[in-house]
Structure 1
């Protein structure tokens, strides 16, 4: 039994591939923006896009969490963007795993389109930093789960 269930099930599982990155130490907001950008792309386009983001050659549009985010050039009809390198590297591994899963199932990679891309909040690692006079400051880290489904269209 899986630890986390997929939020989306494809109509025909024989023509779809799934992959999940479970509780990765990346920013949840960055993962949400990358997932919204990748959804609808082919796998090769998504890999190229994430490699360019990791190399800071292409920015990710921040459409949901755009407050106090600087403007970047090269964004199609949008203003706010960033280069979330760490999240791009982790999500790139999951996309390559998705590609390998499709290859294992015998599905043509050229026809696969990412139909589902979602980021979920995982566990919270609770830590505390000691301060003066016996006090402590909380230092919480939220882990992120990312799931992808690619189908033949």
Structure 2
């Protein structure tokens, strides 16, 4: 045997000895921990509940698989976005119409400086839109009054 082969063999033996001593120390540490009563009690609880834990893990895996397939499904994403747009677009249009009407009403009210008298107020009370508003206000007040009782 050559000198380099002997050196390599002695290095591998020393590495093996250090690895064996580390492994032996780790094994002793694990055995010491396993002798502790709290650890033994915990292990007994785990062993007793292994069937339940197994069911839970299976359910979690199935849930993960379903969630993963939903998240990665491009067709579902597009369909969901389309459905949300169909729901939101009418609301957005109504909000824009409401805002435009409110701005126009504010501008008209600021431009009109005439005084509204008693007869003018009575005439406005007959307006169908005003009647609709008054019915809504009355119903809202009735509901809030009922909920406060």
TM-score (norm 1): 0.18
Higher-RCO chain (CA-CA 8 Å, sequence separation at least 6): 1
Which one has a bigger Cα radius of gyration? 2
Determine which structure has the larger helix proportion and give its number: 2
Determine which structure has the larger strand proportion and give its number: 1
